[in-house]
Amino acid sequence: MSRILTVKNLVTRFYTFDGVVHALNGVSFHLDHGETLAIVGESGSGKSVTMMSLLHLLPMPPARIEEGEAVFEDDDGPIDLLKLSKPERRRVRGGKIGYIFQDALSALNPVMTVGRQVRESIMEHLSLDQKAARERTIQLLEHVGIPGAKSRYGNYPHQFSGGMRQRVMIAVAIACDPKIVIADEPTTALDVTVQAQIIELTKRIQDELGISVIWITHDLGVVAGIADRVLVMYAGSAVEISPVDRLYEHPQHPYTEGLLAALPRVGAKRGKRLASIKGSPPDLQEPPRHCQFAWRCPYNFDRCWASAPPLFEVGEGHYTKCYYDMDQERPR
Amino acid sequence: MPEPNGPPTATADPAPEYLVRVEHLKKHFPIMRGIVWQRQVGAVKAVDDISFGIRAGETLGVVGESGCGKSTTGRAILQLQPPSSGRVFLDEVELTGLNESALRRVRPRMQMIFQDSYDSLNPRHSVGRIIMEPMVVQGIMEEADRRSRMAELLDLVGLNLNHAVRYPHEFSGGQRQRINIARALALNPDFIVCDEPISALDVSIQAQVVNLFEDLQRKLGLTYLFIAHDLSMVQHISDRVAVMYLGKVMELADRDDLFDDPLHPYTQSLISAVPVPDPKLERNRRRITLQGEVPSPARPPRGCVFHTRCPLAQEICSEQAPEYREVLPEHFVACHFADRKGGSKISV
Ligand SMILES: Nc1ncnc2c1ncn2[C@@H]1O[C@H](COP(=O)(O)OP(=O)(O)OP(=O)(O)O)[C@@H](O)[C@H]1O
Ligand SMILES: Nc1ncnc2c1ncn2[C@@H]1O[C@H](COP(=O)(O)OP(=O)(O)OP(=O)(O)O)[C@@H](O)[C@H]1O
Ligand code: SF4
Ligand code: SF4
Ligand SMILES: [Mg+2]
Ligand SMILES: [Mg+2]
């Protein structure tokens, strides 16, 4: 499979009144054509900042992207997303790369009709006149499963239910034939039965259009259902990257292992205690001088406190930022 | 569940089967229109005629989609919002209809813990003061006793005395939920409504807090109404589970019966919609996908409230509401076809 996006050593910080927040400490990953990469991790681990860094959506200041590159394979050659000029950014964001947020209500303009918002996004990126863009909008709304799309063209966002708004967001995201769609917790605010509908819709569209998807979530159930590969984030670092089956069967980072063990098992016996990870994530005011998971890690040893671990390759396409070999039960 | 050290839960003899009993409980919120002359133009049927009991020492889980009436049920049981009609009993004391002062006397026995642990803690008060607050309000203890009780409570929830002088913002979400739990336990309740107490927490912290709930139940003989939308967590913590939809209980059963052999079409759909953390299982899974979304509780469908989305709906379903009844021993279902073997099973 060929690469569509390669992110290397992304470092993003926030310079706030209370000090520097080390939000991303060198995040590297790639995305292949047509695949779904899930990014999982706890609140504050840097999932959204990763996505927003790539799309130039962070408020600057306080944010600053200090280092890194993000090479996107455009039709006429590779471009570094982090080095784009303002007009190029607009061409890419919402055009080549579509995106969907958790909260569709605040992502949509409340005083503009839904139809017009989709139409304008189309006209900004594709050379269509108003009439053709309107046609395409209605087709799109139908395509994402909005009943009576024609008559709902003139409705405002608040006249749609949560699930329907998320469908509109998907329509906007795919309106301009994107190569990549980045979805940041697109179903977290929805009920499970509606979440199931949205996941089904996303998969269908991805198959039809051959889009690559980055799907951010904290739900390991959702990940199991949608991902080809998984990136696990912890405290601003990508601590494990793995094909999805391997990650669940054979996690190679103590944090991933702990997360999976903390989930209640279907069919588990009554009264069985959940395994839990002690403590809570570090605050990000200090730059990492050692493994960020060391305080909570059952395997930690002296080397873990001396320096931050690099990324080790532990299998095909499987990487972990950990000094401890969990299979051999000894340091690597 | 054996309760060797549990507090005595009943004065009546023989011990009643249920600690909490809910009979035909309704909570309707009026919808008002008009600026000068307000008039009622309808009602949101947030909770609409539900009945069940909760046994001493057990956990009854309540699941259902947003707006189905879970929180309203919890609040109406505790009389934090007076029910529109129906009766609620704690032991043999009828809570509905008690006057304020009588209610204040039973209040210490029942508590509520909410999802948002930050909003429910006063940011200007130290943790120690927050935990002692209910004791002060009840005015039943000396200062020194309150302090020692506070220390005891901190220890019980896995915090220590050093934490007492700190303020809520200095704690993580999971620790703040521990503070909430300590405060809820201050007056030795026997019944606690837990309203999405772990929903705002990260996975790794959820497990810590769920374990704490279970430990406390074992130690203190607590009875829980545990509200959550995470089905697998509810399955984990509950002895029995109630499934709600549009203000009504659709199904209530022992947790294993409910999850292994759900009889109501809505329960089946809900369980089927939950993704499981196992990629191989997920790939080969056949899902029941419900069409549409939950209708407004201001205008619930006629007949069976689920009929607009139910894959098994027949003509009768839009005309006549199914009776909520005990279809199998201890297994309650509201579906016309649940009595016939396999009659209410959706095939995928
Ligand atoms: N505008 C900002 N100013 C200061 N710090 C910020 C800002 N935006 C994000 N951060 C910090 O960056 C870190 C990463 O945040 P991010 O939003 O990426 O987390 P996340 O993994 O998406 O979490 P969640 O699951 O809660 O969405 C956090 O510590 C957060 O507090
Ligand atoms: N004070 C109120 N006034 C009017 N309507 C209300 C009030 N409180 C709740 N409702 C309505 O009653 C219905 C049930 O609400 P409730 O909060 O009990 O649902 P829930 O099951 O707890 O949902 P969630 O999962 O979102 O917490 C909803 O339609 C809600 O809008
Ligand atoms: S590097 Fe050390 S502390 Fe960090 S996760 Fe691995 S074993 Fe644990
Ligand atoms: S009564 Fe009818 S509509 Fe209601 S759940 Fe049963 S089959 Fe479905
Ligand atoms: Mg986020
Ligand atoms: Mg609620």
Q: Ligand 1: which residue has its CA nearest to atom 31?
A: A44
Cα distances (angstroms) measured from residue A187 to each of A162, A164, A194, B66: 10, 12, 8, 14
- What separation in Å is there between the alpha carbon of B296 and the centre of ligand 2? 11
Structure tokens at A63: 């944010």
Determine which of A103-112, A146-155, A225-234, B287-296 has the lowest per-residue pLDDT on average.
A103-112
Q: Which atom of ligand 4 is found nearest the CA of B250? A: 5
Degrees, nearest 5: CA angle B292-A187-A91: 110
Measured in whole angstroms, the distance separating CA B138 from the mean position of its chain's CA atoms is 25
Alpha carbons A229 and A35: distance in angstroms, whole number? 8
pLDDT average, residue stretch A119-139 = 86
At residue B287, the pLDDT reads: 87
CA of B332 to the centre of ligand 1 (A): 45
User: B290 near A259, Cβ under 8 Å?
Assistant: no
Site to probe by mutation for ligand 3, drawn from A25, A232, A291, A332 as the one with most ligand atoms within 8 Å of Cβ, is A291
Q: For chain A, what's the residue count?
A: 332
How far apart are alpha carbons B305 and A326 in whole angstroms? 52
A217 min Cα distance to partner chain B (Å): 12
Cβ contact A259:B205 at 8 Å: no
A residues 234-293 lying closer than 8 A (beta carbon) to B: 244-245, 248, 258-260, 262-264, 266, 268, 270-271, 273-278, 280-281
Contact assignment for B275 to A224 by CB distance below 8 Å:
yes
Q: Which tokens in the block code for residue B230?
A: 């995470």
Q: B174 and A280 in contact by Cβ < 8 A?
A: yes
ipTM: 0.85
Could you report the per-residue pLDDT of A137-156, keeping only the tens digit for each? Answer: 998 888 888 888 888 888 88
For the CA of A236, the nearest atom of ligand 1 = 14
Closest Cα to atom 5 of ligand 4 = B335
- Give the Cα-Cα-Cα angle B180, B185, B186 (nearest 5 degrees): 100
Query: What pLDDT shows up at residue B117?
Result: 60
Nearest Cα neighbor of A125 from A156, A98, A152, A165 is A98
Q: How many CB pairs under 8 A join A and B?
A: 115
Q: Which of A170, A134, A161 is nearest to A150 (CA)?
A: A134
User: CA-to-CA distance for A303 and A309, rounded, in angstroms?
Assistant: 9
Instruction: Please answer yes or no on whether A262 and B203 come within 8 Å at the CB atom.
Output: yes
Q: Whole-prediction pTM value? A: 0.89
**Mutating which of B236, B261, B268, B283 best tests the A interface, going by the most A Cβ atoms within 10 A?**
B236
Per-residue pLDDT of chain B (348 residues), as tens digits, is 444 444 444 444 444 589 999 999 999 998 888 777 778 888 899 999 999 999 999 999 999 988 899 999 999 999 999 999 999 999 889 999 899 899 988 999 999 998 766 677 888 999 999 999 888 887 777 888 889 899 989 988 888 888 898 888 888 788 888 899 989 998 889 999 999 988 888 888 889 889 989 989 999 999 999 999 889 899 999 999 999 999 999 999 999 999 999 999 999 999 999 999 999 999 998 889 888 888 888 889 999 999 999 999 999 999 999 999 999 999 999 999 998 888 888 887
Q: Give the Å distance between the CA of A202 and the centre of ligand 4.
A: 29
Q: Break chain A into its structural domains and give their ranges.
A: 237-263+275-331
Q: Residue B19 in contact with residue B55, Cβ under 8 Å?
A: yes
Q: How far is CA A122 from the centre of its chain?
A: 23
Residues near ligand 1 (Cβ within 6 A): A 14, 16, 21, 23, 41, 43-49, 59, 62, 218, 284
Percentage of the residues of chain A whose pLDDT score is greater than 70: 98
Would you say B25 and B70 are in contact if contact means Cβ atoms under 8 Å apart?
Answer: no
Q: Provide the token pair at B109.
A: 């026995």
Helix (H, G, I), strand (E, B) or coil at A44: coil
Do residues A143 and A172 touch, judged by C-beta distance below 8 A? no
pLDDT band at A159 (very low <50, low <70, confident <90, very high): confident
Both tokens of B167, joined, read: 């303020």
Q: Is B44 in the pocket of ligand 2 (CB under 6 A)?
A: yes
8 Å CB contact between A181 and A215 = no
- Cα–Cα distance, B250 to B187 (Å, whole number): 34
Query: What distance in Å separates the CA atoms of residue B276 and residue B272, rounded to the nearest whole number?
Result: 9
Question: Does the Cβ of A251 fall within 6 Å of ligand 3?
Answer: no
Q: Considering Cα of A125, then A127, then A131, then A133, what sign does the dihedral take?
A: negative
Ligand 3 atom at minimal distance to the Cα of residue A298: 8
The chain B residue lying nearest A269, using CA atoms, is: B236
* Residues A106 and A89: beta-carbon distance below 8 Å: no
Least confident range of A13-27, A92-106, B142-156: A92-106
Pairing of strands B223-227, B191-195: parallel
A196/B289 touch (CB, cutoff 8 Å), yes or no: yes
Atom of ligand 1 nearest to the CA of A50: 18
Distance CA B226, CA B237 (A): 8
Long-range Cβ contacts of B168-175 (<8 Å, 24+ apart): B168/B118, B168/B121, B168/B122, B168/B123, B168/B125, B168/B127, B168/B130, B169/B123, B171/B127, B172/A280, B172/B205, B173/B117, B173/B118, B173/B200, B173/B201, B173/B202, B173/B205, B174/A280, B174/B201, B174/B202, B174/B205, B174/B208, B174/B209, B175/A280
CA distance A305 to chain B (A): 22
Residues 6+ apart with CB under 8 A from A51: A39, A57, A99, A182, A184, A214, A216
Name the A residues in 103-162 with CB < 8 Å from any B CB: 161-162
Neighbours of ion ligand 5 (CB under 5 A): A 48
What is chain A's mean pLDDT, rounded?
A: 89
A271: which DSSP letter? T
- Please answer yes or no on whether A191 and B66 come within 8 Å at the CB atom: yes
With vertex at residue A202, the alpha carbon angle to CA A199 and CA A205, rounded to the nearest 5 degrees, is 150
Cβ A276–B203 below 8 Å, yes or no?
no
Is the CB of A34 inside 8 Å of chain B's CB atoms? no
CA distance A72 to A76: 11
Cα distance between residue A24 and residue A10, in whole Å: 7
pLDDT number for residue B39: 81
Beta carbons of B264 and B290 less than 8 angstroms apart: no
| Partner-chain contact B277 A277, CB within 8 Å | no
Q: Which ligand 4 atom is at minimum distance from the Cα of B266? A: 5
pLDDT at B8: 43
Contacts of B97 (CB under 8 A, 6+ apart): none
